[in-house]
Amino acid sequence: MTSKRRRFIAVVAVVAAMALMVTGCGAKKDTSDTGGTKKATEVVIGIGAPLSDGAVALGKGMVRGTVLAVKQANASQELKDLGLTIATVEGDDKGDPTTGGSVATQFTSNPNLVGVMGHLNSGVTRVAVKIYNQAGIVQVSPANTAVDLTEMGMKNYFRVCTVDSVQGPAAADYAFKVAGKKVAFVVDDATVYGTGLADEWAKQFAADGGKVAGREKTTDKDTDFKALVTLIKSSGAEIVYYGGIYNSAALLSKQMKEGGVSIPLMGGDGIYDPEFIKLAGAANAKGDFCTSVGLPIDQLPKGQEFQAAFKAEFPSEAIAAYDAYSYDAANVIIKAIVQVAKDLGADKLTTTEGKAAIVAAVAKSSFEGVTGKVEFDAKGDTTNKAITVYTVGADGTWAPAAK
C-alpha cells in the first residue's frame, strides 16, 4: 500500500469517527420531535438608565424592578414549555442624551435584543427612541413624562407613567388650593424633563390665581445656589417649585433653609427618593413636597405581593420611585415576548417579523400591574393618570400629604 493510500484511509477514518461522535447516543442536539433535549432560545431585554451619574438611585431601582420581573418569568413553567429564556443587559446612559444615543446604538447591535426597558430621562429618550424605532425594537419607559414623546410618530414607544401635563397641574392645584400658597418662585434645571414640568406647574398655578414672582434656570450639575437663594428671598415667594431631579433639588432646599428662606420646595417625581432627604438633611427637607405618578404602593392590590418579592430578592435595598414601574414596564415586554413566541415560535422572536409582532403585542397590553391597570392609548401613553402628593414628615421620610 502506498503512503498516499494510507493517508487517505486515515483521513476517512477520522472523519467517520467525528461524525459518529456528533450523531451518537451521548450527544445533545435539537431532538424536539423525538423527546430529546432542546436548547432554549435566549432573547435579551436592555435596561437603559443612569447608573453612574445623574439620578443613579432611580436608575438602580429601574434595574432592580426589571431583574425581578425577568427572574420570575424565567422560573415560570410557561417559558420552560416554550423553550425560552430571557436575559438582561444594562446600559449606563448617565442621564445624558448623547450617551443615551450610544447606549441605544450598542443595544440595537445585539442580534438577540428584542426590547428596551427605559430610559429614565425624557431628554435621553428623545434621542434613543429614534434609534430603537429604526431597528424595530420596542421601548417601554417607566418614567418619561415629557408630553411630546408620544407625539413624535414612533410606533415602537410606550410608557407606563403619566405625563407632565397631568403631574404639573396636579401639583400646582395642591400648592394653591390645599397648601394655601399664593406666591411662587419657579426654577428648572434646563433639561427636557425639568423645563416641561416647571412650565406646566407655573401655567396651572397662575390659572388658579397664584402669582409667579420669579423664574430662573439652572443646570442639573449645579451645586451652588446662594445667588438664587437671595433672589428667592427678595421675591416674597411662599413656595419654590423645582423642575428637575433630586441631586440639585436637595442642595437648593438645603441652601434655602440655611440662607433663612424657610419655605417649602416642591418638585415632581424626579425628587421622590430618600436620597433627596439624605442630601438636603431631614431638618431642611421637612415640609417639602413632591408629586409622583400613581398611588402609594401599599394602596394598590398587588402592592404587598410586590413588596414581599422585592424584599426576598433585595433584602438590603429600599423600593425607590421607579422600581415598581420598571417591574410593570418589563412585564409589558415579557408578556409580549411570550405571546409572540406562542404565535410564531420562540425562534422567530429576533426576526424582523418577530420584533414587529412584539411591538404590536405591547400596544394591546391589558393587565393588572403593581402600579394599577396597565393599558396604552393609541399614542402609547398609559391610561392610568393617578398622581399622589407626598411631603417630608418629622420622621424624615416621604409620606402621602394631607388632602
**Helix (H), strand (E), coil (C) string for 277-312:** HHHHCHHHHCCCEEEEECCCHHHCCCHHHHHHHHHH
**Residue with grid cell 441631586, as numbered in its chain:** 247
SS3 135: helix
Write out pLDDT tens, residues 310-357.
Answer: 999 999 999 998 999 999 999 999 999 999 999 999 999 999 999 999
**Residue with grid cell 438602580, as numbered in its chain:** 60
**Residue with grid cell 431638618, as numbered in its chain:** 283
What was the pLDDT predicted at 80? 96
Third-level CATH fold of 165-293+388-400: Rossmann fold (3.40.50)
* Those residues with Cβ within 8 angstroms of residue 275's Cβ, 6 or more apart along the chain or in another chain: 57, 246, 247, 250
Third-level CATH fold of 41-161+300-370: Rossmann fold (3.40.50)
Write out pLDDT tens, residues 209-222.
Answer: 999 999 999 998 99
Torsion angle defined by CA atoms of residues 291, 294, 298 and 301, in that order, rounded to the nearest 10 degrees = 170
Q: Do the first three CATH levels of 41-161+300-370 and 165-293+388-400 match, i.e. the same topology?
A: yes
Distance CA 107, CA 373 (A): 29
Write out pLDDT tens, residues 228-253.
Answer: 999 999 999 999 999 999 999 999 99
**Residue with grid cell 438608565, as numbered in its chain:** 49
Torsion angle defined by CA atoms of residues 274, 315, 161 and 346, in that order, rounded to the nearest 10 degrees = 150
Distance CA 286, CA 277 (A): 8
If phi > 0 it is left, if psi is from -120 to 50 it is alpha, else beta; for residue 48 that is: beta
Domain boundaries, the chain: 41-161+300-370, 165-293+388-400
Q: Is pLDDT larger for residue 33 or for residue 129?
A: 129
pTM value is 0.87
